[in-house]
Structures are given as C-alpha cells and as structure tokens.
Copies of this chain bind each other. A is one copy, B any other.
Amino acid sequence: MSKTHIIALDAMGGDFGPSVVIPAAAYVLETQKDISFLIFGDEKRVNPILDQHPKLKSACTFTHTDIAISGTDKPSRALRNGKGSSMRLAIEAVKEGKAHGVVSAGNTGALMVMSKLILKSLPGISRPAIASIMPTAKGKTVMLDLGANLECDAEILTQFAVLGAVYARVVQGINEPTVGLLNVGTEEMKGHDEIRAAAEVLSTVPFPGKYHGFIEGDDITKGTVDVVVTDGFTGNVALKTAEGVAKLTKHFLTDAFKSSPLAIVGYLLSMGAIKKMKDKVDPRKYNGGMFLGINGICVKSHGGSDVLGTQNAILVAADLIRNDFNAQVANEIEQLMEQESFVQAVGV
C-alpha cells in the first residue's frame, strides 16, 4: 500500500515533546503501511531524535520552527503569538491539503481555537466538541464533549449526538449506535431545560443514531449506550473523576498486594492476569481526544503521554482519516438538513 494518508505532527507539544512524538511516529510508520508524516518542530530538539530513526527520517518531511505554543498560554495569547509555531504550521498543513489530519499534545485550548480559526467548523456544526473513547463492561463507548464547550444548549447537544453517532457508525462499525444524554436521573422530568429540550429533539427527529434516553454517571462504564452526550463542563469533570478513581483503585490494590508475604506470593502468581486487566484499562490505550466537528481531522494527545500513548493518539487520527469521517458527517448533516422537522427542532 502506498503512503496515502499523511498526518501532520506538532513535535513540540506536551511534557516530553519530540522525545515521545518521534519514536511514536517511527513505530506507526513501521506498523501502518498507509501512514506517513509531516513533522513540525525545533530542529535542535527534533534532529537528534530523528537521527535515531533513519526510516522515519527518510520517509517524513520535517519543517523547522523555533516557535512553540506554551502549555500555560491562554488560547487568545497563543492565537496572537502563535504564527509560525509548530502547532499552527501542522494545522495549516491540513488546511493547505498537504496533510489529512493533525496530532498535537500541546495546549488544548490553543489547539481548539487555532484549528477552529484555520480549518473552520463543518457546515451545520456550530461548536466542535472533544470526544474520547472510554472502556466499559461491554467494550467501548464514545463520550463528548469533554471540555470544549462549558455551556451547551439543546441545539449544540443535538449536534454532539449526530457527531458521536456518525463516529460510532463509521469508525467503530456499529450499525445503529445508541445515544444517551448524561443526566442526574433517567426519568423524563430530570435535569435542566437544555438537556430536556435536547431529549425532546432526539426522541422525535430521525438522526444517524438511536436515541436511548437519559443516562446517569454509572451508565458510562456499564456501556449502556454507544455514545454519551454531555456538555463540556460535566464531561470534563466526569472524565477526570473516572481517571482519579482508576488511579486510586490501582494505589489501593498495590498497597493490598504489598501488605503481607502471602499477598506478595499471591500477586506473583496472578501477575499475568492482573497485567491483562491493567492493559484493558490502560489510559494510554484511550489517549487521543478527537476534535469532532472541525473541518479537518484534529486529535489532541494528552500532555503527559509517553510513546505508547502518543502512538495511540496517532492511530486515532489515522482511523478518522481512513474512514473519511468528516465527509461522512457532512453527508449526514446534509441529509438531516433536508428534513424539515430536524431543521426546525435544532435550528441549524
């Protein structure tokens, strides 16, 4: 297969910059025959590592810039001062058709604001969302928004439902994905006005998924639905709370195994099985926040990601590119716009 899919990489983002981005890219290049890279970053930091990966060095195009967005910059400041930065150049490569998608571990707010400004939103989508995959008892679920839009009205929540459902169908291959609205109870009268209005739209108007109804926080990991829709404030808190509980459990479990000689022997015997379980919930395997609704594939890798996590974020972008996610969303939205009931209800 020829290298038909090109990903623009911001090598300077995240806590570890090129020291994780370059090895991750080298691994993906080796294992994914259709993927190649444009790499943007500071040659002083990138070249020494690129030299250790000769195959990647010869296969990718590297562009030097000594400007990088700081992780602590406000998005507005990043936008003002970020011209020519590795993040911005990577996004512009997508805009100019030189790459099919961009991956960055840099400042989330800056990446969202810059990609919205440069790539724009998809037609019919007023607010792109950050989506991610979560492990569940039944497999996986996609959840959005995880922090791009803190306050969301019914129109925006409905658009998230469309984006999530198209993702589940196109990328995950679920024929009729179920969509749930995250709420404080499952009864109809629960929640605030915005969420009840979104429920009204989703339960009456045909859209690419199947509306399940309201779900509660514990339904996320139960795998009650394929797509969890929520506002960015709630989604961000829920995601980080989940990460916190997972870490606490790991901490308590480690303590338990260390608590007696018998437990240590028990641990040694069950180590293989426990490793399998840890693998199942390894957050690095779920790394890759997708900016759905942007007119261009854009994936945010966690700032603290290691090589494995970064590889996964690149693979998430690759999957969106291979499945031509944005064209599929645009197509769905166009069909929805032809339904008068949808246009009236959602006001797109």
B260 touches A273 (CB 8 A): yes
B259 touches A263 (CB 8 A): no
A150 touches B184 (CB 8 A): yes
| 18 contacting pairs across A/B (C-beta < 8 A) | A182-B237, A217-B236, A217-B242, A220-B244, A221-B245, A234-B234, A234-B237, A241-B241, A245-B246, A252-B280, A253-B253, A253-B274, A260-B272, A262-B272, A263-B272, A265-B266, A266-B268, A266-B270
B216 touches A240 (CB 8 A): yes
Within 238-295 of A, Cβ neighbours of B (below 8 Å) are at 238-249, 251-253, 255-257, 259-260, 262-263, 265-274, 276-277, 280-281
A19 interface residue (CB < 8 Å to B): no
Question: Apart from A263-B270, A263-B274, what 14 extra A-B contacts exist at CB < 8 Å?
Answer: A150-B191, A192-B233, A216-B236, A220-B241, A221-B244, A222-B248, A230-B237, A238-B241, A241-B241, A242-B242, A256-B274, A265-B266, A266-B270, A267-B270
Q: Which residues of B contact A233 (CB under 8 A)?
A: 184, 191-192, 234
Closest to A263 in B: B273
Cα(A18)–Cα(B258), bound, Å:
41
Within 304-322 of A, Cβ neighbours of B (below 8 Å) are at none
Tell me the smallest distance from the CB of A304 to a CB of chain B, in Å: 12
A208 interface residue (CB < 8 Å to B): no
A126 interface residue (CB < 8 Å to B): no
Interface of A is mostly: helix
Cα(A217)–Cα(B243), bound, Å:
8
Q: Which residues of B contact A189 (CB under 8 A)?
A: 74
Q: A251's contact among B137, B183, B236, B273, by CB below 8 Å, is which?
A: B137
Q: Which residues of B contact A232 (CB under 8 A)?
A: 184
A219 interface residue (CB < 8 Å to B): yes
B236 touches A218 (CB 8 A): no
A253 touches B277 (CB 8 A): yes
Q: A281's contact among B183, B230, B249, by CB below 8 Å, is which?
A: B249
Q: Mark A302-345, 1 if CB is under 8 A from B, else 0.
A: 00000000000000000000000000000000000000000000
Q: Which residues of B contact A151 (CB under 8 A)?
A: 192
Kindly list the 3 A-B residue pairs having the minimum CB-CB distance in the complex, ordered from nearest: A266-B270, A217-B240, A266-B269
A249 touches B251 (CB 8 A): no
A136 interface residue (CB < 8 Å to B): yes
Cα(A15)–Cα(B11), bound, Å:
55
